[in-house]
A and B are shown apart, each in its own frame.
Chain A
Amino acid sequence: MNVTEPMFLALTALVDGPLHGYGIVQEVERISGGRVQLKIGSLYGVLDRLAAQGLIALDREEVRQGRLRRYYRLTDEGATVLREEAARLAANAEAANSRLRARPAGGLAIRIAGTPHLGGAG
């Protein structure tokens, strides 16, 4: 299953409990440090895809100040998919970090036979 970043963040937003549309927008923005600001059309595209795959479900409806709020919750299947996706991303991040830790400061100097050293003073 291809989980895009907005789908991943929306699933993460629902881990702590059901949220309504604008609540998900706010939570996604908070989780991503302000980097991902879902527009309403995009949000409902994401919610449709997640609901179609059974990863979220309608929890309840409320009318507040004359306006309809629908709350969505994470399903067990959604939690499983999120856990697998988080593990995959963490493994990728760990691979990148371990290689970065092994990288010498200043980067690798490439020396081609018969040419002057490209690293400067060395």
Chain B
Amino acid sequence: MSELLERRYRSVLRLLPEDYRRERESEMVAAFLEAAGDVSSADNPRPGWGEVGSVLALALRLRLGGQDSTPRAFARGEAVRLVALLGLGFQAALSVVTAAGGVAEPLFFLAAAEACCWVVAFLALVRGHLPTAKGAAVLALLPVTGTVAFHASDSAQPASQTASWLVLTVVPVIALLLAYHRDVLPVTRPWWQAVLPLTVAVFAASLALLPRDPTWSWSYPWTDPIGLGVLALVAGVAAGAIRRPAAPWRLALGMVAALLMAVRLLDMADMYGDLLVTGSVQVVLLAVLATGLTITGRRALPEPV
């Protein structure tokens, strides 16, 4: 038996939640070393990628639990699943408005393809068709990549805006792929819960298309996609203050606030004057919301079993 291999495997097992590791670590190490057979530390042995991947997948399922897991892990999983749902809805509404709003010719087909993918992904997720939702969301990244490549070659589009948009696009897809794992049973929500928020969001997002008055330049950051996201978040928190949402909603809105803050910070690299002042106000507001929602959300989590 190699002590080095054992040490390395134990460090991989640190990916698992502490309470699970306390219960299972000795047993897993014994099984792993039996499977590894006779190896010498002189050979510099390491756990294979397959073993590391299996522990990573287990850690993910334990931390972002499905319906059969502990109430605490389930609540954490629900929070990330809500981030995926809100993110897909946001992308669906914005992409519809972008495609309908008269995008220039080379980008029109990309914008239309992207809008179709996001809308299908969002509707499928709300209706509980997980493979369709995942497939459409991943597919949406293809036209996004094309649009990003186009903007990267366009010197008029600041790189920071492209980067912040990319983050805002990729994160919901990652949340979808990670949190809707095979231990999660699909939940079918009624059609109105898919169509109504999407319709409202499309109307709200179409504000971005209104002609801009140069004397109101300070307001521009409120009508770009990130600004609209901030307004939607504030509306969600205001509604939540009345209904006192459960831990998953608070944590999800806290994560959305942190994400919007990160992308606004990226975006501010190219802001100046009034725009910079408004951007800074948004960042402070988002920081307060992210902190408050995360703290109250963590306090509201069910106790560990």
A interface residues with partner B (beta carbon < 8 Å)? 4, 20-22, 25, 39-45, 49, 52-53, 67-70
Contacts and interface: CB of A to CB of B under 8 A. Distances in A.
Nearest to B182: A4
B57 A21 contact: no
Contacts of A45: 54, 57-58, 61
A44 B28 contact: yes
B183 interface: yes
Contacts of B27: 21, 68-70
Contact of A39 (B33, B34, B53, B182): B53
A49 B56 CA distance: 17
B83 to A, nearest CB: 23
A40 B32 contact: yes
Instruction: Label chain A's interface by main secondary structure.
Output: helix
B57 A22 contact: no
Interface residues of B, number: 23
Given A45-B58, A49-B183, 17 more contacts: A21-B27, A21-B28, A22-B30, A39-B54, A40-B28, A40-B51, A41-B56, A42-B54, A43-B31, A44-B24, A44-B28, A45-B57, A49-B68, A52-B68, A67-B30, A68-B27, A68-B30
A68 to B, nearest CB: 4
Instruction: Label chain B's interface by main secondary structure.
Output: helix
A41 B31 contact: no
Contacts of A49: 68, 183
B50 A39 contact: yes
A44 B58 contact: yes
Nearest to A66: B30
Contacts of B35: 22, 25, 40
A24 to B, nearest CB: 9
Given A40-B51, A44-B24, A67 B56 contact: no
The 10 nearest A-B residue pairs measured at CB: A41-B54, A39-B54, A21-B31, A67-B30, A41-B55, A22-B34, A68-B26, A41-B58, A22-B31, A42-B54
Interface in B27-80: 27-35, 50-51, 53-58, 61, 68
Contacts of A67: 26, 29-30, 33-34
A39 B51 contact: yes
A83 to B, nearest CB: 22
A52 B66 CA distance: 12
A2 to B, nearest CB: 9
Interface in B56-111: 56-58, 61, 68
Nearest to A42: B54
Nearest to A21: B31
Interface string B5-34: 000000000000000000010111111111
B55 A40 contact: yes
A86 B124 CA distance: 32
B54 A69 contact: no
17 contacts: A22-B35, A39-B51, A39-B54, A40-B31, A40-B32, A40-B55, A41-B51, A41-B54, A41-B55, A41-B56, A42-B54, A42-B57, A42-B58, A45-B61, A68-B26, A69-B27, A69-B30
